Structure 1
Amino acid sequence: MPFTVETMMRDLCRLPHRGAATMLEKSALDILSATLKDLQVEVTVESFQTPRTYVTTLYWLVFGIASGLLGFPWLGWGAVIWTWWWIGLTWLYFNWRFSPVTKLPPLSTAHNLIGRWREKERGYAGDREKPVLKVILMAHYDTAPISLIYRNNRIQSFHVSLIITLFLMLAAGLLMLAEQLGIDSTWLPWIRYGLVAFFVLQALLATLGYWLYGYSNGASDNATGVVAAIATAQRLRQLNLPGVEIDLVFTSAKEAGNIGSRVYLQKHVADWPPGRTVAVNFDTLGNGSPRLIKHTGTVEEIEYSNPLMDRAERLLEETPFRGVVQPARWHTAEFDSVWFVRKQIPVMTLTAMDARGRMPNIHRPDDQLLVTDLSSIPIAVDFAIQTLVRYYQAFELTAERI
């Protein structure tokens, strides 16, 4: 059956969920592989080790900090060093940098799927190098654990709550240091115990939804991104742009900490043509109007500023995208594209938000196909295509002048 947005959405959403490193991830992988092979795409599946969700990672972080705080009266400097180590791991993890905590057990095997259209050959007179542009079109296909924190009426406060928690962890470390250095106060131990109770309670609230309900179905987050990436690849291929190589990359374990995309980048970045590789990430294009992500991050702000974004931002001011696609911030979580930003590879992320800047229903039982609006998908595809074509034309113009 030919690929259509509606057909692929239906096929993916027939699965109860697509949790990373589960049997249903394998079912989703089979659906995607069959679709890409029908489109005559060279398909590769790459496995990697990962926590299944952020749940066990969060428990490790809270256990590490809480055990140090509780063990301080007996372990002294050992507890101080131990606690600061875990505070550092937590700071890295929630500011979207690699944290070794993601290597702790239990680990399972998840899979990235890569589909590649090989570049078309293009001849040049003399020894001039052909202009190769590698285009990476990304979307994660795993689904999120259900979370009580992501209720629509609370989601916008999550960023503030996370920052408060991170700074309370820093305060806990400083309190331990003060006690160890001899500051005498009958209140300091009680504050430590109170912080332990707070951190444990936060961890339980953040993960209770998963233990009660499991995974979301993931219609909006992120079956919509998957179909948008395939549709964009098809359109880009039909343009027959000489010298363009297209990678379709469907990552897993995004919901465990953007792990699949990091693994993919680390494995392949050395093979990409320097200065001639760009990426477009599609994530959660249901239930809202299209948004071009400009800023993310928790405490540390992450700005999407690169040559690809320059062309995308100019396109925001032109018909038919003026007032339709808008720049946006998202500080509730992070996107797979964060590793590309840190490697200074031109990348943009397209998503959808409602008028209040929310992504409705994500990480919730309501993230079902029946209540998912697909109208943003064709707009995001058109926007991605026009941005990429303009970026490609800049290379064409440079090549003609050589």
Structure 2
Amino acid sequence: MPSPHFLLNELCRLPHRGSATPNEREAARLLAEHLRSRGAAVRLDAFSTPQTYATVVYWIIGLMLAGIGLALSGGFLVGQLGLFLSGFALSQAWLYFNWREALVTRFPGQHRAVNVLGTWAPPNNVPGESIRLHVILMAHYDTAPVSVLYSPKQQKTFRASLIVSLCVMALGVILSVVYTFGGTSSIVFWSLCAVALYLVVQAVLGTIGYLTKGYTNGASDNATGVVAAIETADRLQRATQAGALPGTLVEVVLPSAEEVGMLGSLAYLKKNRANWPDGGRKTIVINFDTLGAGKLTVIEQTGTVEVIRYTNALTDLARQLIDQPAFSPRAQSGRWHTADFDSVWFVRAGLPVLALCALDTDGTMPRIHRPEDVPELVDEQPMYAAVDLAEAVVKHWYKQFN
């Protein structure tokens, strides 16, 4: 059976795994083949997505600029149309950057991407027989566009910059209302121009890395997470076969389009939740993301303006385990407010969810969304620590609830 190191290198042999690109399809083929070699039943689920977040950002800012432009035209009816456009843009920005489903992600510019799913049913399971535990092990396999906004310094201010941008957009809507309904002073006019200029600059800064350098290789973010998910599944499957976890259904979910806005995991949840055992009441989710540098971290909180709290029994169990001598030197708990994880939809759905990543001492993820995210710089220790912890969490959960 191929080693974890072998799979990591195989994924990273591709220059990138950008969502809805030929390289993504090759990565999906490689992962499907690897999962089959481990005895999984494999399915590739296609879904529609923008190719990168740049498409979504351009739609949002483009609509806002169009709204401001119409408001500045001076016509009352045209100005009202502008208010509608800018108000809609603000609503979509709020949803998208607070990691909620946004209509703008389905606007023109759609491409076909695929989620890779591997399932191991319990040995000798009779069709219709009750599943005692359904474990979803999730890790996105697509890679990120290069971004100047993800240097260590920028990571620390990323959340604040998103909040400022949302506030500036809200200011643009307010000023457009004032201008449309008679406040056509030069101060309002130039303030709206300043808002428009700010948004153009943000659009350029947010996407220039991708436009000039393309995608990252994605060794840490997130080939390490993919390997950790598959290795954990292998361990759990062996434990199930040995009779230690009877009735356990293990599923590896490898979404694409995480770097677009966690759209692959959302597509998986919508399509498959109705088919989970016992309506999902026996389902737990562990998400692995970016485990190639830093210290293994149990995530307690994410979010932008809206805070997403991992206040559930699965995360609580993981926090208890990392306080024990077997894990305390290798793991910690922490928060991550720079973008989010595929697990966000599952937290919002009220499922027991554990999110694992690796953070540096200053709370940043080294090299993410940067050209330096290459296999030569990966430290595999956090990845193996994540596998150990995930395995321990599932086994403890099983003992508590079965």
The TM-score range, normalised by the shorter chain, is: over 0.9
Q: Secondary structure at the match of 2:43?
A: strand
- Separation (CA, whole Å) in 2 of partners of 1:307 and 1:21: 35
The answer to whether 1:9 aligns with 2:8 is: yes
- Separation (CA, whole Å) in 1 of partners of 2:317 and 2:55: 40
1:353 alignment counterpart: 359
Q: Secondary structure at the match of 1:248?
A: strand
- Separation (CA, whole Å) in 2 of partners of 1:16 and 1:144: 12
Cα contact 1:120–1:244 (8 A) shared by 2: no
Give the superposed CA RMSD.
Answer: 1.4
- Aligned AA (1:340): F
- Separation (CA, whole Å) in 2 of partners of 1:23 and 1:133: 36
- CA displacement, residues 226-246 of structure 1 (integer Å, 9 cap, x when unaligned): 000011001111112111001
Q: In the alignment, which of 83, 86, 89 is matched to residue 80 of structure 1?
A: 83
Q: In the alignment, which of 305, 310, 314 is matched to residue 308 of structure 1?
A: 314
* TM-score normalised by structure 1 residue count: 0.95
Q: Secondary structure at the match of 1:115?
A: strand
Q: In the alignment, which of 267, 273, 285 is matched to residue 269 of structure 1?
A: 273
The answer to whether 1:103 aligns with 2:106 is: yes
1:63 alignment counterpart: 62
- Separation (CA, whole Å) in 1 of partners of 2:184 and 2:106: 39
- Separation (CA, whole Å) in 1 of partners of 2:34 and 2:334: 32
Structure 1's unaligned 5+ residue stretches are: 124-128, 397-402
**Pairing 1:1-400 to 2, within 5 Å after superposition:** 2-72=1-71, 73-74=74-75, 75-120=78-123, 130=130, 132-183=132-183, 185-240=185-240, 241-272=245-276, 273=278, 274-396=280-402
- Separation (CA, whole Å) in 1 of partners of 2:372 and 2:131: 46
Q: Which moved more, 1:304-313 or 1:136-145?
A: 304-313
- Aligned AA (1:182): G
- Separation (CA, whole Å) in 1 of partners of 2:390 and 2:13: 28
- Aligned AA (2:137): L
Q: Which moved more, 1:161-170 or 1:307-316?
A: 307-316
- CA displacement, residues 83-133 of structure 1 (integer Å, 9 cap, x when unaligned): 10111011000000000000011111000010000124579xxxxx85611
Q: Secondary structure at the match of 2:153?
A: coil
Cα contact 2:298–2:315 (8 A) shared by 1: no
Q: Secondary structure at the match of 1:79?
A: helix
- CA displacement, residues 339-392 of structure 1 (integer Å, 9 cap, x when unaligned): 001110111110001111110111010000011111111111111111111111
Q: Secondary structure at the match of 1:178?
A: helix
Query: Post-superposition shift, 1:166?
Result: 0.7
- Separation (CA, whole Å) in 1 of partners of 2:158 and 2:389: 30
Cα contact 1:134–1:276 (8 A) shared by 2: yes
Query: Post-superposition shift, 1:30?
Result: 1.4
* TM-score normalised by structure 2 residue count: 0.95
- CA displacement, residues 175-222 of structure 1 (integer Å, 9 cap, x when unaligned): 112223334532001100110011011001110000110000000000
- Separation (CA, whole Å) in 1 of partners of 2:286 and 2:184: 55
Q: Which moved more, 1:73-82 or 1:201-210?
A: 73-82
Query: Post-superposition shift, 1:253?
Result: 0.5
Cα contact 1:131–1:395 (8 A) shared by 2: no
Q: Number of aligned residue pairs: give it.
A: 390
Quote the sequence identity (%).
42
- Separation (CA, whole Å) in 2 of partners of 1:184 and 1:211: 38
Cα contact 2:330–2:382 (8 A) shared by 1: no
Query: Post-superposition shift, 1:395?
Result: 2.1
- Aligned AA (2:88): W
- Aligned AA (1:285): L
- Separation (CA, whole Å) in 2 of partners of 1:260 and 1:219: 19
Structure 2's unaligned 5+ residue stretches are: none
Q: Secondary structure at the match of 1:153?
A: helix
After TM superposition, what 4+ stretches of structure 1 lie above 2 angstroms from structure 2? 119-123, 178-186
